[in-house]
Amino acid sequence: MADPVAAERHLQAALDLWRGPALADFRHQRFADNEVHRLSALRSVAIEGFFEAGLLLGRDST
pLDDT tens digits along 4-15:
999 999 999 999
Percent of the chain with pLDDT over 90: 87
Band of pLDDT at residue 61, cut at 50, 70 and 90: low
Q: How far apart are CA 26 and CA 22, in angstroms?
A: 9
Whether 21 is covered by a domain: the verdict is no
Mean pLDDT for 33-52 is: 96
Q: Is residue 58 part of a domain?
A: yes
22 domain-assigned: no
Domain of residue 44 covers: 1-14+30-62
19 in a domain, yes or no?
A: no
Residue 34 lies in a domain: yes
Is 70 exceeded by the pLDDT of residue 50?
Answer: yes
> How many distinct structural domains can be found in the chain?
1
The pTM of this model reads: 0.84
Tell me the mean pLDDT in the region 43-48: 98
53 located within any domain: yes
Residue 21 is classified by DSSP as: S
Q: Residue 56 in contact with residue 3, Cβ under 8 Å?
A: no
